[in-house]
């Protein structure tokens, strides 16, 4: 699939934003951790910025961004619509939550419920994003349960990294939630490794023979394409990435997402953590690019592509 | 809150208004000439569909026809007469007014006509008004006229007209409803392509039929054939000879049919050395004789109740010996050299396949005989309860004809048909009126006339013997293209492919003006393009061009335009009148005669004129007879439309056969009807009359039809037409070659004539025989969605094919180490062309092929200079020599069939060499780009709609374009 | 309306005979032509006379070779929307622009609702969705919804443009939901199949497979004459009943 930069930015930035939001609000409900409005509000702002920038960017790849609002209508069946609705719902809830934080009502039941709701919404939004892809049967590399899991784990990981950086920025004392960094990295790395391992070993979904139904008569090969120049389908779905490049990029993505941030975490200190966050951003970007570039669309079977 | 509650299904406008106006006319994207309905909105063409009433296409369209509006709105349309100002080829022109253009042409041509009319060579390409352009040439007085048939498929026409009085091409077709076994030789598309496709569709839908395609390439029609025979190019004649051999050996032939309807029983004089050796023995009245075994007498052939002898010697009245024609035929084909085993390897068809095919032909012809239960009486007076049919049909086209042995190969196919008794019988091959015609049809080529006088006949005709050839006293050709000369005696359609070379060479004589119409001779319709361009631009020592003047009438900025001195821009097919005439290449079908017109459905938005109008105006300015009134004014001031209704020939025949007579009550003949065109328009722009059931088969010997055909003016007499298994006419040429008769070839051509004229068909090696350096055959195929050069200016069609590859058999690719990513040099003795490779399975191992005419010269056709057609596409024409290698004395014949002059496009031999890694992947040879021209003013569609106005509210834009209201109307449900 | 209709009254669709299609592209260009002024108009062309000619088409004709033990056959393969019963392109659509009509099962895009997110084109396994890069909306085969019911057209013209044009008659149109319809019968007789059944899209369109190429079963010819001389002996006396 053709990697679209606006979508890559959207999913990574918004993922990190929702991840941060998730950790932030859960952090706020944790009895053991003192409530720190400065941290909460600045975290919320950062998450809001990331999510908003991501959402705006996502409209860039629309043919008609001005009609984006229409996307809220089909939540009953469309994951993209659900994602949109959830993303929108997050805003008022987050604002309400922020108001509670600001008005220092403490850990009231309302506050706690709202926090849990917000965490749930953040997680659901990310899940919905993952489901947009996972629901596409036509793209075998996406049509798997590990896709939303990955989206969730990577969001959690990037959120944890941001949270850690934020805490360090606001006070040099390491917070209890810092332990989330290595834990989420480990989980995300496991998840991603699992995903890569699985897609590499997935049997080819279909062949030109099965797609055309002509396989029953022999081995099918392409004689002429319908049009001699590339068309939309070939540009959009026909993106191919050579295996050797994929491997290099995977290594780079893993270094960026997991290894460098982990080392930075071990090294400790704000600047290292920021550096780790930047590396993670780059890694995530590559990961997301690969997520597209390595996914093959079944329609390319008709053009002689795929397995 | 529709978006958050249950949504309603969006409404759809199910019945948008139909176009404001729908006009019928005839398509012109190819020679099939289908009926179309053109939808118009605000004077713009917005949709073209097939006319379901039309006899040719019955509503269907092909990919080109359905893209006609993009042809009509092509930016490559010319928009004003042009006069060359730079050197030829530079494309530097000055726009001039029509008065000046016609004045110039009048000056040039007037002087020629007064001096020597033959100094005008008037050749037309995709001309659909040949009976008119030929008439114009006749009135002008030049012999040097022909359309494109000489390089197209004259072999089909000549072989058919000299053996069965009709031909394949678009002049006949299989009896689709009845045929059970259909053999298709070498057809990718053909002229009557929609009827062919409709017919194939019928065959496929009818159980119990078999369709066998004989073609080196398995694409298109071959893809749906029940059996594909991947023959080696140029060897079909061998295959057919072997089929004949097998059928003869098994005695599975239609003896009765041969005796009754062919000249198999005619006695052939056997008197070696005599002037009439090999001619038909005739009685005092000139009637051919046969030997009746019942009465044991020599008797005129053809009468009922005879038992004519088919084999064995007979003594003639003068004691000389004679044999029935069939005797010679059997002798030739029973020869072991014709046995399947003898030909199999050479044509690449297994012996078992040939034998099986022969068995199948016999089985279907003789065991699955069908009868159409219509009583009829044949010309000999025998009554028949019905039409007995041998449901075996055949069709062939350029895969046969575009080889130098095509005339003979096609004759072999006709011989096979005669042997099986399947010509014009139910389930067999059927003629389309006005065929069958006498063998050959009446009319011989015109002789030269005095300066200023018209020719007495149309320039082209059918020689019935050496005395009808056009040679001067010394035996040299009278025509510039050497058609009807001793070199190409039966070049019935002229030899457009030789004209430019001969004019340059001054061989047989220099000319003054080359006048071309609708022929892209500067590119895809030339053999050896670089040489042709050289001939067009070469100058004499005094600086004059060797071809002093070139006038060209094209509608588009083709590759040829920059090489002319004066350009007469034509309209598109939707902007003019046209007649699709029975005098020309008719659109009849086996069951009825038909003709049609084109009417202007839109008015030109440029300063262009219909070429036919221009010819009539020029004719009037030149004072040509037939085009001028006694007072010197124009005979047809109303242009071609007036000509179509008022011109008559012979006995009250005119270009259009329908609605003749003052009230439009007469068909075929009758006085002109001033409302005739309107009657055509009222009827969907065509006219058709149906034959009675008793007139539909065995028409060569069916008086019910023959009388009708005489009345209709198709033929001069109702004499039965006897199919010629043995051609006496060809034997006359043979005899002349041997030194008999009043008209003999010059000494140096005797051997050539003797070698190539044989009364019986036989397989000949093609002109270019296997040379070890060039082991592969290279051929082209027409893409079904492209018409020669025109298609590439069509925004839709070029999206389908904008570049071409060289297809190589996967087995050969494996041998040569080629893959789909490679580029190769295709090398012939005269040049090399670079091409990307595509391997395929369904291809004869020794053959490579590509799509015809996809490669374009950069800058032509209003395409961007870096269009894929120019940067990556290629044409094989660069590699095909226009002349054969020199003989011992240095003389070079045209690369053509030695009998008919048919260009031998498919005799090309090549070898492949893989391009090195450093050779860039781009077309080669690469010519100087032609200067880009200001595209013609684009139609609104082009500007606003073609690119899809990015309004985001396309429905409104679309509606506006369609001329409806700007407002999107309320949607409705049914 | 993104949810698929519970039930469709009819299942209109196409049946394409791969054994008869000669790959002429008439269906493709006639589709382009009709629809260029139809429901999803225009079918934009991007670089019509330039270096990369490309545009929106609802019907594209592929050509394949099928080889089996040294034998190969060529199969032309036109592809357009299959109007799936279980159309994923519809259910993924966030705006309701994509919908399946309850009355006849035709899957359409409402160009005024579409935001051009392209998701439906990702969801369709058949490549039947065409994004108009200039207009910014998704387009697709409409099954000529603006022809087949159009009372402004002559009755004979009320079939999809591609079906009307196809010169070999390789395309048929009708109600595949009605087991007695002509198209259903054709599918039954010829073993018509659906593309990629494993995708569970339940396409309505059907393809008729290439027929097996039966070799003819004519008895072999038995030579009766061995060369010209023996023919001469036999045939001189032949009675022809002329
Ligand atoms: N390699 C190879 N070469 C071949 C062949 C092949 O099979 N292989 N086939 C040969 C055969 S059979 C033929 S017939 C020739 C065809 O060769 P041509 O007869 O040259 O055919 P076109 O390329 O169609 O060119 C005809 C010209 O007519 C112009 N034209 C189109 N419409 C109009 C109109 O309405 N009015 C006027 N005045 N002009 C118009 C076009 O712009 C074009 O310049 O090609 C031959 N060349
Ligand atoms: N779409 C479209 N239609 C056209 C035209 C066009 O340009 N486009 N041009 C029109 C014109 S001018 C003409 S003349 C006709 C020509 O119509 P066709 O006769 O169909 O012309 P070609 O495309 O040259 O096809 C020749 C076929 O013969 C095969 N062949 C080549 N050599 C041999 C051989 O030795 N033996 C056998 N058995 N087969 C062989 C080739 O593979 C090819 O399939 O089409 C007319 N119709
Ligand atoms: S076959 Fe096609 S291009 Fe030729 S006349 Fe018919 S519709 Fe027009
Ligand atoms: S073919 Fe594709 S676009 Fe058409 S209904 Fe099925 S999934 Fe949707
Ligand atoms: S591109 Fe348009 S039709 Fe397709 S899913 Fe998006 S909004 Fe729906
Ligand atoms: S049904 Fe209509 S829209 Fe669909 S492919 Fe055929 S012509 Fe095109
Ligand atoms: S029009 Fe008919 S024969 Fe031609 S490509 Fe389309 S389906 Fe095949
Ligand atoms: Mo031709």
- B844-873 confidence digits (pLDDT tens): 999 999 999 999 999 999 999 999 999 999
Residue A250 has pLDDT above 60, yes or no: yes
Probe residue for ligand 6, chosen from C79, C160, C164 as the CB with the greatest number of ligand atoms within 8 Å: C160
Ligand 3 atom at minimal distance to the Cα of residue C26: 2
CA distance C231 to chain A (A): 46
Q: Rounded to the nearest whole angstrom, what is the distance from the C-alpha of residue B526 to the centroid of ligand 1?
A: 10
Cis peptide before B27, with omega less than 30 degrees from 0?
Answer: no
| Architecture of the domain delimited by B776-919 | Beta Barrel (2.40)
- Nearest ligand to the C-alpha atom of residue C142: 6
Of B7, B251, B842, the CB nearest to C96: B7
CB-CB contact of A307 with A207 (8 Å): yes
Is B23 strand, coil or helix? strand
CB neighbours of B630 closer than 8 A, spacing ≥ 6?
none
CA distance C196 to chain B (A): 23
Chain C residue with minimal CA distance to A224?
Answer: C63
pLDDT digits (tens, 9 = 90+) for A97-129: 999 999 988 889 999 999 999 999 999 999 999
Closest to B484 (Cα-Cα) out of B457, B511, B506: B457
Domain coordinates of chain B in residue numbers?
82-156+440-569, 776-919
| Architecture of the domain delimited by C12-208 | 2-Layer Sandwich (3.30)
Selected residue of C60, C113, C193, C196 to mutate for chain A interface (largest A Cβ count, 10 A): C196
A73–chain B Cβ distance below 8 A for any pair: yes
* pLDDT at residue number B135: 97
Contact C119 A132 (CB under 8 A): yes
Selected residues 54-73 of chain A with any CB under 8 Å from a CB in chain C: 61-65, 67-68, 70-73
CB neighbours of B746 closer than 8 A, spacing ≥ 6?
B474, B475, B476, B486
Burial-class residue B973 by CB neighbours within 10 Å (0-12, 13-18, 19+): exposed
Classify strands B823-828 and B847-851 as parallel, antiparallel or unpaired: unpaired
* pLDDT at residue number B935: 60
CB-CB contact of A284 with A154 (8 Å): yes
Please report all neighbours of C, defined by 3+ CB atom pairs within 8 A: A, B
Is B677 strand, coil or helix? helix
Contact C130 A84 (CB under 8 A): no
> E strand or H helix at C109, and its extent?
strand C107-109
Probe residue for ligand 1, chosen from B25, B74, B519, B857 as the CB with the greatest number of ligand atoms within 8 Å: B519
Domain count, chain A: 1
* pLDDT at residue number B900: 97
Closest to B235 (Cα-Cα) out of B365, B137, B338: B338
CB-CB contact of C238 with B310 (8 Å): yes
* pLDDT at residue number B951: 31
Contact C67 A221 (CB under 8 A): yes
| Chain C residues with beta carbon closer than 8 angstroms to that of A62 | 115-117, 136
> E strand or H helix at C188, and its extent?
helix C182-190
* pLDDT at residue number A96: 95
Calculate mean pLDDT across residues C63-88.
96
CB-CB contact of B75 with B935 (8 Å): yes
- What interface predicted TM-score (ipTM) does this complex get? 0.96
The residue nearest atom 4 of ligand 5, judged by CA position, is C120
Selected residues 363-392 of chain B with any CB under 8 Å from a CB in chain C: 363-364
Is B700 strand, coil or helix? helix
Is C226 strand, coil or helix? coil
Q: Rounded to the nearest whole angstrom, what is the distance from the C-alpha of residue B791 to the centroid of ligand 7?
A: 18
Q: Say how far apart CA C194 and CA C202 lie, in whole Å.
A: 8
Probe residue for ligand 5, chosen from C115, C129, C131 as the CB with the greatest number of ligand atoms within 8 Å: C115
Q: Say how far apart CA B150 and CA B481 lie, in whole Å.
A: 10
Chain A residue with minimal CA distance to C207?
Answer: A213
Q: Say how far apart CA C240 and CA C242 lie, in whole Å.
A: 5
Contact A221 B841 (CB under 8 A): yes
Is B432 strand, coil or helix? coil
Q: How many CB atoms lie within 10 A of CB B927?
A: 18
Closest to B550 (Cα-Cα) out of B523, B520, B500, B515: B515
Ligand 4 atom at minimal distance to the Cα of residue C82: 1
- What residues in chain B have per-residue pLDDT under 70? 1-7, 766-770, 934-974
Range of the domain at A234: 5-303
CA distance A189 to chain B (A): 39
| Chain A residues with beta carbon closer than 8 angstroms to that of C196 | 206, 210-211, 298
Q: Say how far apart CA B291 and CA B300 lie, in whole Å.
A: 8
C202–chain A Cβ distance below 8 A for any pair: no
Q: Say how far apart CA B303 and CA C109 lie, in whole Å.
A: 74
C-alpha dist (Å) from residue B577 to B610, B642, B644 = 8, 10, 9
Q: CB under 6 Å to ligand 6: residues? A: C 31, 34-35, 58-59, 80, 141-144, 160-162
| Architecture of the domain delimited by B82-156+440-569 | 3-Layer(aba) Sandwich (3.40)
Q: Rounded to the nearest whole angstrom, what is the distance from the C-alpha of residue B519 to the centroid of ligand 1?
A: 5
Probe residue for ligand 7, chosen from C18, C20, C22 as the CB with the greatest number of ligand atoms within 8 Å: C22
Q: What is the overall mean pLDDT for chain A?
A: 93
Tell me how many residue pairs between chain A and chain C have CB atoms under 8 A apart. 198
Q: Say how far apart CA C86 and CA A142 lie, in whole Å.
A: 20
Backbone torsions φ then ψ of A252, nearest 5 degrees: -60, -45
Residue A292 has pLDDT above 70, yes or no: yes
| Chain B residues with beta carbon closer than 8 angstroms to that of C38 | 16
């Amino acid at each position: 699939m053709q990697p679209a930069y606006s979508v890559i930015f959207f999913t990574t930035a918004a993922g990190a934003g929702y991840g941060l939001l998730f950790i932030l609000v859960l952090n706020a409900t944790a009895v053991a951790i003192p409530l720190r409005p400065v941290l909460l509000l600045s975290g919320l702002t950062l998450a809001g910025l990331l999510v908003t920038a991501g959402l705006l960017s996502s409209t860039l790849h629309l043919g008609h961004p001005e009609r984006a609002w229409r996307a809220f209508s089909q939540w009953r069946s469309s994951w993209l619509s659900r994602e949109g609705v959830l993303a929108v719902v997050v805003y008022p809830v987050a604002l309400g939550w922020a108001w509670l934080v600001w008005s220092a009502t403490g850990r009231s039941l309302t506050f706690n419920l709202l926090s849990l709701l917000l965490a749930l919404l953040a997680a659901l939004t990310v899940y919905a994003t993952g489901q947009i892809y996972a629901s596409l049967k036509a793209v075998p590399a996406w049509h798997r349960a590990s896709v939303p899991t990955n989206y969730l784990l990577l969001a959690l990981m990037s959120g944890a990294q941001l949270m850690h950086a934020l805490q360090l920025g606001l006070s040099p004392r390491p917070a209890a939630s810092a332990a989330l960094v290595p834990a989420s990295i480990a989980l995300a790395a496991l998840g991603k490794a699992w995903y890569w391992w699985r897609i590499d070993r997935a049997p080819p979904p279909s062949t030109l023979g099965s797609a055309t139904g002509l396989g029953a008569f022999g081995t099918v090969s392409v004689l002429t394409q319908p049009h001699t120049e590339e068309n939309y389908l070939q540009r959009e779905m026909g993106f191919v990435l050579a295996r050797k490049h994929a491997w290099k990029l995977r290594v780079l993505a893993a270094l960026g997402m997991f290894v460098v941030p982990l080392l930075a975490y071990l090294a400790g200190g704000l600047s290292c953590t920021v550096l780790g966050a930047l590396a993670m951003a780059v890694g995530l970007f590559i990961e997301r690019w690969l997520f597209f570039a390595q996914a093959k669309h079944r329609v390319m079977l008709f053009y002689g592509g795929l397995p | 809150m529709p978006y958050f509650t249950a949504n309603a299904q969006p409404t759809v406008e199910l019945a948008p208004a139909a176009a404001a106006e729908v006009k019928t006319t005839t398509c012109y994207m190819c020679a099939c000439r289908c009926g179309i309905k053109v939808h118009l909105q605000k004077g713009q063409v917005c949709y073209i569909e097939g006319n379901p009433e039309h006899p040719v296409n019955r509503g269907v369209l092909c990919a080109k026809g359905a893209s006609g509006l993009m042809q009509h709105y092509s930016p490559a349309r010319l928009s004003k007469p042009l006069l060359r100002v730079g050197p030829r080829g530079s494309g530097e022109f000055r726009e001039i007014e029509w008065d000046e253009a016609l004045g110039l042409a009048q000056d040039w041509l007037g002087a020629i006509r007064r001096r020597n009319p033959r100094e005008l060579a008037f050749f037309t390409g995709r001309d659909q008004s040949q009976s008119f352009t030929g008439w114009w040439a006749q009135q002008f007085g030049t012999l040097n006229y022909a359309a494109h048939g000489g390089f197209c498929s004259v072999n089909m026409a000549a072989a058919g007209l000299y053996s069965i009085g009709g031909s394949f091409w678009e002049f006949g077709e299989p009896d689709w409803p009845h045929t059970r076994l259909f053999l298709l030789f070498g057809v990718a598309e053909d002229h009557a392509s929609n009827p062919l496709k409709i017919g194939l569709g019928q065959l496929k839908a009818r159980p119990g039929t078999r369709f066998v395609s004989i073609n080196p390439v398995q694409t298109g029609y071959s893809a749906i054939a029940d059996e594909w025979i991947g023959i080696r190019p140029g060897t079909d004649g061998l295959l057919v000879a072997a089929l004949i051999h097998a059928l003869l050996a098994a005695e599975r032939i239609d003896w009765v049919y041969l005796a009754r309807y062919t000249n198999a029983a005619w006695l052939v004089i056997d008197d070696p050395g005599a002037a009439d050796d090999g001619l038909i023995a005739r009685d005092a009245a000139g009637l051919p004789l046969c030997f009746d075994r019942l009465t044991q007498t020599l008797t005129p052939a053809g009468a009922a109740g005879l038992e004519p002898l088919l084999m064995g010697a007979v003594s003639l009245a003068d004691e000389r010996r004679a044999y029935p024609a069939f005797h010679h035929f059997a002798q030739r084909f029973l020869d072991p050299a014709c046995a399947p085993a003898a030909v199999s390897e050479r044509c690449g068809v297994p012996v078992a396949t040939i034998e099986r095919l022969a068995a199948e032909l016999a089985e279907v012809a003789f065991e699955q005989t069908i009868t159409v239960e219509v009583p009829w009486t044949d010309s000999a007076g025998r009554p028949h309860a019905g039409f007995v049919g041998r449901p075996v049909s055949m069709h062939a086209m350029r895969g046969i004809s575009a080889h130098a042995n095509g005339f003979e190969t096609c004759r072999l196919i006709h011989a096979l048909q005669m042997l099986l008794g399947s010509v014009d019988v139910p389930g067999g091959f059927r003629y389309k009126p006005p065929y069958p015609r006498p063998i050959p049809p009446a009319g011989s080529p015109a002789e030269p006339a005095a300066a200023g006088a018209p020719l007495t006949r149309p320039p082209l005709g059918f020689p019935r013997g050496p005395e009808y050839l056009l040679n001067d006293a010394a035996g040299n050709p009278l025509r510039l293209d050497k058609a009807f000369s001793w070199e190409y005696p039966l070049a019935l359609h002229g030899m457009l492919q030789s004209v430019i070379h001969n004019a340059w060479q001054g061989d047989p004589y220099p000319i003054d003006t080359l006048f071309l119409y609708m022929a892209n001779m500067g590119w895809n319709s030339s053999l050896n393009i670089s040489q042709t361009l050289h001939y067009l631009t070469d100058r004499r020592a005094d600086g004059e061009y060797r071809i002093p003047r070139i006038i060209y009438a094209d509608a588009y900025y083709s590759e040829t335009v920059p090489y002319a001195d004066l350009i007469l821009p034509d309209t598109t097919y939707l902007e003019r009148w046209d007649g699709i005439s029975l005098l020309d290449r008719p659109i009849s079908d086996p069951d009825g005669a038909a003709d049609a017109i084109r009417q202007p459905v839109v008015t030109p938005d440029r300063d262009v004129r219909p070429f036919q109008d221009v010819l009539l105006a020029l004719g009037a300015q030149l004072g040509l007879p037939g085009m001028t009134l006694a007072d010197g004014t124009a005979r047809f001031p109303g242009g071609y439309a007036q000509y179509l209704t008022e011109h008559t020939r012979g006995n009250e025949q005119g270009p259009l056969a329908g609605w003749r007579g003052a009230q439009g009550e007469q068909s075929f003949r009758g006085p002109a009807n001033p409302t005739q065109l309107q009657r055509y328009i009222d009827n969907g722009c065509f006219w058709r009359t149906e034959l009675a059931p008793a007139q539909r088969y065995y028409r060569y010997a069916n008086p019910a039809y023959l009388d009708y055909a005489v009345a209709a003016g198709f033929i001069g007499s109702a004499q039965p037409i006897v199919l010629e298994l043995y051609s006496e006419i060809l034997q006359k040429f043979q005899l002349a070659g041997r030194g008999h008769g009043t008209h003999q070839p010059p000494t140096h051509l005797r051997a050539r004539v003797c070698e190539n004229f044989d009364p019986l068909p036989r397989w000949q090696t093609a002109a270019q025989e296997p040379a070890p350096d060039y082991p592969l055959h290279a051929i082209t195929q027409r893409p079904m969605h492209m018409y020669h050069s025109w298609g590439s200016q069509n925004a839709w069609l070029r999206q389908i094919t904008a570049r071409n590859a060289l297809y190589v058999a996967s087995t050969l690719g494996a041998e040569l180490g080629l893959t789909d990513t490679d580029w190769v040099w295709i090398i012939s003795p005269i040049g090399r062309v670079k091409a990307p490779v595509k391997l395929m399975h369904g291809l004869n191992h020794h053959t490579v092929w590509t799509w015809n005419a996809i490669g374009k010269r950069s800058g032509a056709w209003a395409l961007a200079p870096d269009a894929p057609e120019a940067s990556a596409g290629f044409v094989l024409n660069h590699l095909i020599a226009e002349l054969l290698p020199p003989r011992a004395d240095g003389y070079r014949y045209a690369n053509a069939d030695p009998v008919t002059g048919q260009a031998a496009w498919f005799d090309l031999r090549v070898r492949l060499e893989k391009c090195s890694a450093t050779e860039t992947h781009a077309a080669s040879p690469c010519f100087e780009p032609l200067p880009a021209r200001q595209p013609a003013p684009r139609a609104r569609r082009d500007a606003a709609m073609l690119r899809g106005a990015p309004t985001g509210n396309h429905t409104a834009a679309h509606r506006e374009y369609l001329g409806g209201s700007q407002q999107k109307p309320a949607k409705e449900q049914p | 309306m993104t949810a698929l209709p519970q039930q469709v009254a009819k299942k209109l669709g196409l049946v394409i005979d791969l054994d008869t299609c000669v790959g002429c592209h008439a269906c493709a260009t006639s589709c382009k032509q009709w629809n260029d002024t139809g429901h999803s108009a225009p079918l934009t062309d991007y670089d019509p006379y330039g270096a990369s000619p490309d545009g929106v088409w609802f019907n594209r004709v592929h050509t394949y070779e099928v080889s089996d033990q040294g034998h190969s056959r060529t199969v032309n393969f036109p592809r357009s929307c299959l109007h799936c019963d279980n159309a994923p392109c519809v259910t993924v659509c966030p705006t309701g622009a994509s919908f399946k009509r309850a009355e006849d099962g035709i899957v359409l895009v409402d160009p005024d609702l579409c935001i051009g997110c392209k998701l439906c084109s990702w969801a369709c396994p058949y490549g039947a969705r065409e994004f108009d890069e200039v207009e910014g909306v998704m387009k697709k085969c409409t099954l000529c919804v603006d022809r087949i019911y159009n009372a402004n057209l002559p009755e004979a013209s009320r079939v999809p443009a591609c079906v009307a044009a196809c010169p070999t008659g390789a395309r048929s149109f009708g109600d595949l939901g009605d087991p007695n319809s002509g198209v259903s019968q054709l599918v039954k007789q010829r073993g018509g199949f659906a593309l990629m059944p494993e995708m569970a899209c339940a396409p309505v369109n059907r393809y008729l497979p290439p027929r097996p190429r039966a070799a003819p079963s004519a008895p072999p010819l038995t030579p009766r004459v061995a060369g010209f001389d023996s023919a001469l002996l036999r045939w001189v006396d032949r009675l022809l009943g002329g």
